[in-house]
Amino acid sequence: MHRALLLLTLLPLAACDGSGTGTSFSINATSDEDGNSTITTDSNGQMAIKAPGFEGAIKLPKFHVNAENFDFNGVKLYPNSQVSALNVDAEDNKTGEDKGKVRVAFESPAALAQVQGWFRDKMTARGFKIEADGSGLKGTTDDGDPFRLVLGADGDRKTKGKLEIGS
């Protein structure tokens, strides 16, 4: 578990660049054997690590996650979307059940109906089972994992979204 968490600290370096507003990133891992571990990075690049037997903070360059850097079972975000937050909650228990959840907040440069239609078409083409959920979508991926996509207009030509994957 600790080795995996250490490797995950390198993820933000994949999209580093010191300019503009970065992406907020967090990983929370719970294990019956190891206790709780948390890695968080704010939009300014400040990373905090807390694990059984270790706690520390370091400053990294700001990093940006956008549509090109994000893939959800073969479905990318709407073109030119920017991820504002990425949260991973991993929970393993003694029965081997994975109750993990991934949450992604993003902003897309298009009207709500256009973004919703784009996701509906891409998800359907990848074999997702989907249904309308307000102005968003919900259903299961091609692997059977549940997801929920919440979309909201941010003016006439922008959409804010939240994608939650997992149980």
For the residues 144-165, what does the mean pLDDT come to?
94
According to the model, what pLDDT value does residue 28 have?
A: 61
Residue 57 binned pLDDT confidence (cut-offs 50, 70, 90) = confident
Domain identity same for 117 and 139: yes
Output the pTM of the full model: 0.70
Domain identity same for 166 and 84: yes
Q: Please, what is the average pLDDT of the chain? A: 77
The parent domain of residue 110 ranges over 64-167
Instruction: Measure Cα distances from 127 to 10, 27, 75, 139, 152 in Å.
Output: 32, 28, 11, 11, 24
Domain identity same for 54 and 44: yes
User: Using CA atoms, how far apart are residues 131 and 124, in angstroms rounded to an integer?
Assistant: 10
User: Using CA atoms, how far apart are residues 111 and 128, in angstroms rounded to an integer?
Assistant: 23
Per DSSP, helices labelled H in the chain are: 2-8, 112-125
In degrees, rounded to 5, the angle at the alpha carbon of residue 150 between the alpha carbons of residues 144 and 152 is: 160
Domain identity same for 58 and 74: no
Place of tokens 């891409």: 122
Torsion over CA: 8, 10, 14, 15 (sign): positive
Domain identity same for 97 and 56: no
* Residue 44 pLDDT exceeds 50: yes
User: Using CA atoms, how far apart are residues 143 and 129, in angstroms rounded to an integer?
Assistant: 10
Residue 79 binned pLDDT confidence (cut-offs 50, 70, 90) = very high
Domain identity same for 52 and 80: no
Query: Is residue 87 packed enough to be buried (19+ CB in 10 Å), middle (13-18) or exposed (0-12)?
Result: middle
